[in-house]
Amino acid sequence: MTDRPCITIEHLAKFVGQRVTLRGWVRHLRKSGKLAFLVIRDGTGDVQAIVSKAQVGEAQFTQACQMTQESSLILTGTVRADARAPGGYELEAETLHVVHIADPFPIQPKEHGVGFLMDHRHLWLRSRRQQAILRIRHEVIRTCRTFFDERGFTLIDAPIFTPNACEGTTTLFETQYFDQQAYLTQSGQLYGEAAAMAFGKVYCFGPTFRAEKSKTRRHLMEFWMVEPELAFAELADVMDLAEELVTIIVHRVLTHRRAELQTLERDIAALEAVVPPFPRLTYEEAVQLLQAKQVSIAYGDDFGGDEETVLSRAFAKPIIVHRYPAALKAFYMQTDPVQPDLALCMDMLAPEGYGEIIGGGQRIHEYEKLQERLREHGLSEEAFRWYLDLRKYGTVPHAGFGMGIERVVAWICGLDHVRETIPFPRMLYRLYP
Ligand code: 4AD
Ligand code: MG
C-alpha cells in the first residue's frame, strides 16, 4: 500500500521536518473551508494531520472529508513541531489513502453508561482512557516478571485444570475433564510449592478463577495472579519481598507511565508516598484500630470489603496485616509457634480504600499436621496425595504469596472498579464480548 517505511506516532519527535508515513484510525474530523483537521491515533499516540485541498488535490481532499470516526487510513506528510498542538507535533498531509470508511461508531465522545460500554468492550479498548489503563497493566506485569527474573526466581507455571481446591470449596468453577471432575485453578500456589522444592525460588503467573457469587468493585471471576514461592523461607521473608515488589511496581509506573497516569488524572503524590517501610499490624492490632474507628467488629471476625476500606484509608501507604486467626484462613497456613491459634499469614492492603492486593504466608511443612488440616477442612486426601508427598521428601519451611494484577492496577490507576483493568472482564453477569 505504501513504499515508504511507516513510523508510529510515539516516535514523531525524531522526524521533525521530515516526510513520514503513518497508519492509523481517525478519532475526529473537523472541516474548515479548504482545510480538514484529522486527529489520528495509531495505538501509540494521537496526532493531528492538517489536510489542505491545495496540497493533496481535490479527490483526496474529498475523501478526507468523508472520513468518519474510526475510519482507517495511511497518510504521508511532513512532521512539524508546534507547541500548541496536543502532543507537540502536527502532520502536514501530502497523500492520503483511505483503507476503510467506518460505520457510525457506537461510542461517541459523550457520556455512556457502563453497561453500554462493557457491551462494546471490543470497541471501547480504543479510547484514550482504556489504553492508558491497559498500558499501565502491561507495565505492572512487565515489572513483576523482571523483578522475579532478576532475583533468581524460575518461572514455573501452574496448570489451569486441577483436581485441587486451593482456596476453599465455595468459589470453585467445576468442569468435566473427560470422565473426571476437575476445577479451574483458584491459585497456582500448591504447584508452586512443589516447584520450590525442585528449584528453590519460583514464581508462576497466569489466570486464576473464582466463582465469586457477589458483585463487588474488587472481584472478577477470572483474574491474573503472580505467585512467588520460596523454599527455606518464613513469613517475614515474604512480607519483605512483597513490600519490595509493590514499591518497585509503583516506582516503575511513575517513571515509565506518567503520561498515562496523567490521562487518568491520577493523584501522583499519593503514589509517590509509596516508599518502604510499609506499616505492619497484627490482625489483633487491626481489629483494635477498626474498633477505635467505630467499626463494629469483634476479635475473630474476618475482614470484609468495608473493614478493608476503613483500614486502608487509615494510612498513606500500603499496609501489611499479619497473623490472622487460623480459623479464618486456608488449610495450608502454618501456625504461629508462639500462639498456635494464629496463622503465619499476611495480607497487603493498598491505601486510599483499595484494600487487599496480596495474600500469602508460610505453609505447613509437617506431614501429619497437613493431613489433619485437610481432614478438618473436609478435603479429599486422595486429591492432595501429591501435595502431601512434598512433606515426605526433604520437607522445609517455605512461604509465598499471590498478588492480584487487576487489584494492583485499579489502585495505581485510581479506578473505582476492577472491571476496566483487564481487557475483557469476566464478571457475575458478564461473559460477553
Ligand atoms: O488471598 P488469595 O485468595 O490468596 C491465594 O490465592 C493464595 N493461594 C496466593 C498464594 O499464597 N500463592 O488471593 C491472592 C490475591 C488477592 O490478594 C487479590 O489481590 C487477588 O488475588 N484476588 C482477586 N482479584 C480479583 N478478583 C477476585 N475474585 C480475586 N480473588 C483474589
Ligand atoms: Mg486473600
The one-letter code for the residue type at 403 is M
pLDDT over 90 percentage in the chain: 97
**Which pLDDT band holds residue 86 (cuts at 50, 70, 90)?**
confident
Is residue 2's pLDDT more than 70?
Answer: no
Residue 286 confidence (pLDDT): 98
pLDDT at 69 over 60: yes
Q: Which of 187, 225, 227, 345 to mutate to test the pocket of ligand 1 (most atoms within 8 A of CB)?
A: 225
Q: What percent of the chain has pLDDT over 70?
A: 99
Please give the pLDDT value at position 410.
98
pLDDT at position 3 over 70: no
Model's pTM, two decimal places?
Answer: 0.97
Tell me, what's the pLDDT at 109?
86
pLDDT for 87: 82
Q: Does the beta carbon of 355 lie inside 6 Å of ligand 1?
A: no
Ligand 2 centre distance from Cα of residue 174 (Å): 21
In the sheet with 174-177, reading across from the earlier edge strand, the strands are 161-162, 180-184, 174-177
Phi, psi of 329 (to 5 degrees): -115, 170
Task: Kindly state the average pLDDT of the residues 56-65.
Answer: 96
Report residue 51: phi and psi, to 5°: -110, 120
257 in contact with ligand 1, CB cutoff 6 A: no
Distance 347 CA to ligand 2 centre (A): 7
Categorize the per-residue pLDDT at 1 as very low, low, confident or very high, splitting at 50, 70 and 90. Answer: low
The predicted-structure confidence for 184-236, as pLDDT tens digits, reads as follows 999 999 999 999 999 999 999 999 999 999 889 999 999 999 999 999 999 99
Q: Which residue minimizes the CA distance to atom 22 of ligand 1?
A: 404
* Alpha-carbon span 382 to 180, nearest angstrom: 14
- Residue 274 pLDDT more than 90? yes
pLDDT at 428 over 90: yes
For residue 331, give the C-alpha cell: 488449610
Cα 112 to Cα 104, 107, 108, 109, 217: the distances in Å are 16, 8, 8, 9, 19
What's the confidence (pLDDT) of residue 203?
99
State yes or no: pLDDT of 302 exceeds 60. Answer: yes
Measured in Å, residue 353 CA sits from the centre of ligand 1 at: 17
* Structure-block grid coordinates of residue 113: 453508561
Determine the residue of 184, 187, 346 to mutate for testing ligand 1's pocket, defined as the one with the most ligand atoms within 8 A of the Cβ atom: 187
| pLDDT for the residue 4 | 64
| Angstrom distances, CA of residue 342 to CA of 111, 300, 326, 378 | 49, 10, 5, 20
Alpha helices, DSSP H only, in 298-379? 305-313, 367-376
The CB of 222 under 6 Å from ligand 1? The reply is: no
Q: Which atom of ligand 1 is nearest to the CA of 210?
A: 28
Closest residue CA from atom 13 of ligand 1: 359
Q: What is the pLDDT of residues 128-155, one digit of tens each?
A: 999 999 999 999 999 999 999 999 999 9
pLDDT of residue 318: 98
Res. 240: pLDDT tops 60: yes
Ligand 1 neighbourhood includes 407 CB (under 6 angstroms): yes
Q: Is 166 in the pocket of ligand 1 (CB under 6 A)?
A: yes
Q: For 372-419, what is each residue's pLDDT tens digit?
A: 999 999 999 999 999 999 999 999 999 999 999 999 999 999 999 999
Segment 2-27 mean pLDDT? 91
Q: How distant, in Å, are the alpha carbons of 106, 111, 113, 417 from that of 116?
A: 9, 10, 5, 16
Q: Whose CA is nearest to atom 24 of ligand 1?
A: 404
Of all protein residues, the one whose alpha carbon is nearest to atom 1 of ligand 1 is: 359
Q: From ligand 1's centre to the CA of 406, what distance in Å?
A: 10
172 close to ligand 1 (CB < 6 Angstrom): no
What would the pLDDT profile of 166-184 be if each residue is shown by its tens digit? 999 999 999 999 999 999 9
